Amino acid sequence: MSVPVDSPWAFVAVGRPVRGEFTYQVPEALRGKLSPGQRVRIPFGRQSTLGFFLAPAGPPSAEVVKRLKSIERPLEESAALTPELVELLRFAASHYRYPLGEAMRGAMPPGLSQNDDGKEAKADLVWWAAAVPEANLASLARAPSQHAALSYLLAVGGRALVEELVHAIPGAKATLKVLAQKGLVTLDSQEVVHGVRAGLEQGRPAQLTPEQHTAVAGLTTALDAGGFSTFLLHGVTGSGKTEVYLRLVERALEQGKGSLILVPEIALTPQLVGRFKSRFGPQIAVLHSALKDRERLRHWQLLRKGTVKIAVGVRSAIWAPVGNLGVVVVDEEHDPSFKQDEKLKYQARDLAVVRAQKAGALVVLGSATPSLETLENVRRGRYRTLTLERRVDDRPMPTIALVDLRVARPRLQDEEPPVLSAALKEAIGQTLGRGQQVILFLNRRGHSTFVLCEVCGESLKCQDCDVCLTHHLSARRLVCHYCNRQQFLPDNCPKCSGPLLQLGVGTERVEAEVAASFPGARVGRLDRDAASNNERLTELLASFARREIDVLVGTQMVAKGHDFPGVTLVCVVLADSSLALPDFRAAERTFHLLTQVAGRAGRGKDPGRVLVQSYHPESEAVARMLHSDFAGFAQNELRRRKALGWPPYTRMAMVRIEGDDASVTAATARRLGQAMAQRLPPSSAGVRLLGPAPAPLARIKGKTRWQIVLKGPTHAALAGPLDAAEALLPELPASVKVVLDVDPGAML
Ligand code: ADP
Ligand code: ZN
Ligand code: ZN
């Protein structure tokens, strides 16, 4: 029986950490006038709080009716959330086991208040920069930033949006003015009316590569046909995936359809945003964490009104109110950053598929190293694949060579093998000699990653965490990478006064060794210490792009989608550093990272090479990477996952238990474990409960950590034990924090 829209009752989500949907009375004047997702003020407990109208409700039972409270008033004239987003949020709250009202609150732009419904967007001016025909670079040899700006302009055909240049080369605005004063560049403006494409096709390659052409044709056919479908765009690094996205989004726009593009991290990949900006100008909204609240709200409103139809953003942009959705793109779909690890613990790639399904849209998951989850979906025929096997302009893939560290010590009696082997040093020297750039990758920050007593063997650990302290030479301190506790490096062992050894190489040490071996080289470091905020990060990337840095040493931050044509050598300082982590995805992550970082080499006119230092070159991840054998790696790893019952062959959920008191925490974990075990389906259902057990990192920030892992063939099969855990939450000691994590990203 369907419920009339003007029903006197309604389902409401309460914007508080309470689970479930609640029934409220609807005052006469509001009946039939509220829409799904609309914010309302409601009494809750003794207070009045924020709620979201969900849907009209049928008559509740007689005794409930007596206790029902009434919605006070709407907080906005029309719903900020679209009905489709409300549906998606309901799915996410139930799938990830998180309170719906909290989930809805978290999806809203900050500072959305009722009387701030935005003004109409005005027409914007866009500024163009164009190189004059006689402009040449020779005169700018002594002015690197001007040289960089002009070479960028020349590289893209002489004319580009100022905004694009500023994305690619921060600070370029001022530089362009100087170039204009010198008469090398002209600047002109153009008015852009929203919704009208005004000659923004600059930088649009006249010709697609044959593979791009096939991919675009396949995708536009599916788009034109309409309806939901999912494609994997499997393209090697440098194959021009972005151009495929751009063409598809163009097509959607022509049909009046909206597009949503999710990227791992905007600050790390300014080039991709720059390309979208220059293609679509002010018709896109860029959503990222560095936006000011007011800006974010403005973008939200432009999207909600349909004035702007394209949204580009990080994982939280999955909630962007793009209307009439035609295309959803998830770039670098394998990237772990699509999983949110607090509050509503959603996987934005997975939600992208759900959202597209609800909206009848096309999804493109793009990557050079697709996740095993996605590959399995391809194998089952749920997703179709399009491949780009060649780089643009037939540029060669970089050559990859191994440096076996077990045999690379100059003399066997040397206690430590070198950080940079002779082979690495030689290659770096040659590359620098040719005026080209080098990237050195090591996924560990700091100088030495542990400090050990030579006499008693004690290693220096954090007082509050179960981990070793990292020595940071630049900060002159020992730092805990989990709680950031810092202390001075003692001269001797605190236990026995023995001498201390610094072991385990980090990026600072690599940077120092490069600087010592190549005194003339300009060395930079890209990790969370050196790029502690977005400005420093942007500046570092920009100076590398301007070729003011010759050698860039860094963590996984250097492996992202950067397109630096000057880089012809990539060195992996230690390929094995992340292989030993107690996580079933360790091999996959390692393979992805190594392949991605290798893909930074040889993207310009000069071919690239990759040198990989390893102690364990026969490990699957390293061996397959050395042979660029993605298919072999994936096949083998999938076989292993199947044998061991890990995703993508099972569904997983994790209960994480954390508390100050070790015994209370352990007791709580056991209580949860028992309650969950009682609700396990019969053993034939294939659901397994692992634990409770202390977490791999059993103590962080002074808190004791336990975990319970649940595996089963489907999510539905996990429901019983998870319901039991959820039901127990209100009864557990307040001092213990318990969180449910469905489809966990990391096992630590
Ligand atoms: P991927 O994301 O697959 O690693 P990109 O999208 O970054 O590759 O493209 C690599 C480079 O090739 C970029 O500099 C891009 O501008 C250029 N490019 C892409 N498609 C074409 C094309 N059809 N013709 C010329 N250059 C192209
Ligand atoms: Zn000692
Ligand atoms: Zn610590």
List of domains in the chain: 9-106 (3.40.1440.60), 125-191 (1.10.10), 210-392 (3.40.50.300), 399-446+507-641 (3.40.50.300), 450-503 (no CATH), 651-742 (3.30.70.600)
Whether 145 lines ligand 1, by a CB cut-off of 6 Å, is no
Centre of ligand 3 from the C-alpha of residue 490, in Å: 17
**β-bridge mates for residue 651, sequence order:** 712
273/125: higher pLDDT: 273
Q: Which atom of ligand 1 is nearest to the CA of 563?
A: 7
Centre of ligand 2 from the C-alpha of residue 462, in Å: 16
347/61: higher pLDDT: 347
Hey, which of 392, 595, 596, 597 would you mutate to test ligand 1's pocket, going by the most ligand atoms within 8 Å of its Cβ? 392
Identify the three-state secondary structure at position 744. coil
Centre of ligand 1 from the C-alpha of residue 208, in Å: 9
Centre of ligand 2 from the C-alpha of residue 409, in Å: 28
Centre of ligand 2 from the C-alpha of residue 460, in Å: 10
Contact 127, 161 (CB under 8 A): yes
236: CB partners within 8 A, 6+ apart: 368, 388, 389, 390, 391, 397, 599
pLDDT confidence bin for 112, thresholds 50/70/90:
low
204-226: pLDDT as tens digits = 888 999 999 999 999 999 999 99
Residues around the ion ligand 3 (C-beta < 5 A): 462, 464-465, 480, 482-483, 485
Give the number of the ligand closest to the Cα of residue 238. Answer: 1
Whether 240 lines ligand 1, by a CB cut-off of 6 Å, is yes
Model's pTM, two decimal places? 0.86
Q: Is the pLDDT of residue 324 over 70?
A: yes
pLDDT of residue 234: 97
Structure tokens, 229: 């479908």
> In angstroms, rounded to a whole number, what is the distance separating the alpha carbons of residues 670 and 664?
10
230-288: pLDDT as tens digits = 999 999 988 999 999 999 999 999 999 999 999 998 878 778 888 888 888 878 888 87
188/505: higher pLDDT: 505
pLDDT of residue 190: 65
Contact 268, 230 (CB under 8 A): no
Whether 220 lines ligand 1, by a CB cut-off of 6 Å, is no
Centre of ligand 3 from the C-alpha of residue 478, in Å: 10
Centre of ligand 2 from the C-alpha of residue 685, in Å: 52
pLDDT confidence bin for 627, thresholds 50/70/90:
very high
Q: Which atom of ligand 1 is nearest to the CA of 236?
A: 3
Q: Is the pLDDT of residue 708 over 60?
A: yes
571/118: higher pLDDT: 571
83/413: higher pLDDT: 83
> In angstroms, rounded to a whole number, what is the distance separating the alpha carbons of residues 137 and 154?
9
Q: Is the pLDDT of residue 117 over 60?
A: no
Give all strands (DSSP E) within 587-731, no chain letters.
609-614, 651-659, 688-700, 703-712
Closest CA to 595 of 568, 616, 570, 564: 570
pLDDT confidence bin for 506, thresholds 50/70/90:
very high
Cα Rg for the chain, rounded, in angstroms?
Answer: 28
Hey, which of 151, 243, 567, 603 would you mutate to test ligand 1's pocket, going by the most ligand atoms within 8 Å of its Cβ? 243
Whether 210 lines ligand 1, by a CB cut-off of 6 Å, is no
Average pLDDT over residues 387-406: 91
| Closest Cα to atom 20 of ligand 1 | 240
Centre of ligand 3 from the C-alpha of residue 484, in Å: 6
pLDDT of residue 413: 58
Q: In one letter, which amino acid is 338?
A: F
Give the number of the ligand closest to the Cα of residue 240. Answer: 1
Of 80-84, 161-165, 364-368, 469-473, where does the model show the most confidence? Answer: 364-368
299/652: higher pLDDT: 652
Give the number of the ligand closest to the Cα of residue 216. Answer: 1
For all residues of the chain together, what is the average pLDDT? 88
